[in-house]
């Protein structure tokens, strides 16, 4: 069974975003009890050489790594999977055509169009028996829907063969709806709740990220299958602000409403 699929079969997985680009931080949070860790290659200065080190660090822990790429791009997908990533989050999927293309990048022919190399970290440097013929069975795709148009197409996207899970990006969704930085806005929350119901009806796991436990609990009450809370940097700066406020006896800064 695929690693992320195994998580979903036993619990409601909880994770966080990795924004620090640091193997030690990733390893520490993996040991802290988080079920999955999202390695963000979209908004963080993580190169593929860094990715391999971060995946090694997470591999020392019980946590499952999820690699969020900068785009659903054939070359980026190939490089991430050759580096050892098996669960990929691909951003800004809008249509069934884009969904079909995205999952094809994760599979070798005849199942897809992933480029073939014999020796790389994903195949344990060529020592994993049957890797080429079975790699598509190890790959897990999480497609991000980040606009009202994408959410409107959720049923059709979820039905595409090879799409394993859906993920709502609340930050971009709120921006696309004219409420940038305010994922708590009533209209945004209504669409987020609608997406959870639509995914449940389609029989597809759906995830999301929230800035704090209160918001994440709300998302889980909507019916989300898995959720990330804040990020390594978000938790660190928030805790630092709280402790400094206590020591200086001043009010702590208001918590950010951004997703991570």
pLDDT tens digits, 61-80: 999 999 999 999 999 999 99
The SS3 call for residue 51 is helix
Q: Which residues of the chain have pLDDT under 50?
A: none
Q: Say if residues 173 and 179 touch (Cβ distance below 8 Å).
A: no
pLDDT for res 1: 86
Q: Say if residues 151 and 191 touch (Cβ distance below 8 Å).
A: yes
C-alpha span between 29 and 18 (Å, rounded): 9
Tell me whether residue 54 is in a domain: yes
Strands (E), the chain: 14-18, 36-40, 64-68, 87-90, 140-145, 165-168, 206-210, 226-231
Tell me whether residue 53 is in a domain: yes
Whole-model pTM: value is 0.95
Tell me whether residue 257 is in a domain: no
Neighbours of 170 (CB within 10 A): 26
* H/E stretch holding 91: none
Q: How far is CA 189 from the centre of its chain?
A: 20
Cis previous bond, 190, omega within 30: no
Neighbours of 3 (CB within 10 A): 15
Our answer to whether residue 43 is catalytic in this structure is yes
Tell me whether residue 259 is in a domain: no
Tell me whether residue 116 is in a domain: yes
Tell me whether residue 37 is in a domain: yes
Residue 102 is encoded by which pair of tokens? 């995205």
Residue 67 is encoded by which pair of tokens? 């690699």
pLDDT for res 172: 98
Q: Where are the alpha helices (DSSP H) in 63-212?
A: 74-82, 96-104, 131-138, 148-152, 154-158, 170-176, 186-202
pLDDT tens digits, 189-232: 999 999 999 999 999 999 999 999 999 999 999 999 999 999 99
Tell me whether residue 176 is in a domain: yes
User: How many structural domains are present in the chain?
Assistant: 1
Quote the domain boundaries for residue 112.
3-248
pLDDT for res 7: 96
pLDDT for res 240: 95
Q: Say if residues 146 and 174 touch (Cβ distance below 8 Å).
A: no
> Cα-flanking dihedrals φ and ψ of residue 235, to 5°?
-70, -40
Here the CATH number for the domain that contains residue 75 is 3.20.20.60
CA angle 207, 192, 150 (to 5 degrees): 80
Tell me whether residue 131 is in a domain: yes
Count of alpha carbons within 13 angstroms of residue 68, beta-carbon side: 25
Query: Which one is catalytic: 31, 43, 120, 194?
Result: 43
Residue 104 is encoded by which pair of tokens? 């094809």
> Cα-flanking dihedrals φ and ψ of residue 142, to 5°?
-120, 115
């Amino acid at each position: 069974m695929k690693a992320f699929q195994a998580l979903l079969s036993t619990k409601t997985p909880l994770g966080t975003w990795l924004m620090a680009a640091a193997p030690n931080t990733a390893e520490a949070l993996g040991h802290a009890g988080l079920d999955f860790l999202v390695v963000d290659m979209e908004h963080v200065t993580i190169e593929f050489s860094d990715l391999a080190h971060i995946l090694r660090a997470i591999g020392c822990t019980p946590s499952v790594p999820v690699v969020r790429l900068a785009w659903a791009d054939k070359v980026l997908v190939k490089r991430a999977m050759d580096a050892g990533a098996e669960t990929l989050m691909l951003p800004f999927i809008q249509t069934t055509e884009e969904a079909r293309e995205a999952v094809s990048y994760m599979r070798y022919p005849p199942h897809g169009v992933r480029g073939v190399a014999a020796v790389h970290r994903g195949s344990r440097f060529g020592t994993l028996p049957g890797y080429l013929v079975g790699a598509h069975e190890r790959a897990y795709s999480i497609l991000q829907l980040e606009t009202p148009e994408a959410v409107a197409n959720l049923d059709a996207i979820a039905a595409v063969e090879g799409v394993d899970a859906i993920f709502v990006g609340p930050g971009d969704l709120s921006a696309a709806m004219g409420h940038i930085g305010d994922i708590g806005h009533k209209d945004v929350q209504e669409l987020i709740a609608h997406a959870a119901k639509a995914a449940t009806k389609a029989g597809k796991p759906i995830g999301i990220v929230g800035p704090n436990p209160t918001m994440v609990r709300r998302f889980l009450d909507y019916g989300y299958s898995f959720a990330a809370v804040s990020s390594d940097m978000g938790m660190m700066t928030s805790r630092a602000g709280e402790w400094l406020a206590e020591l200086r006896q001043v009010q702590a800064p208001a918590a950010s409403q951004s997703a991570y």
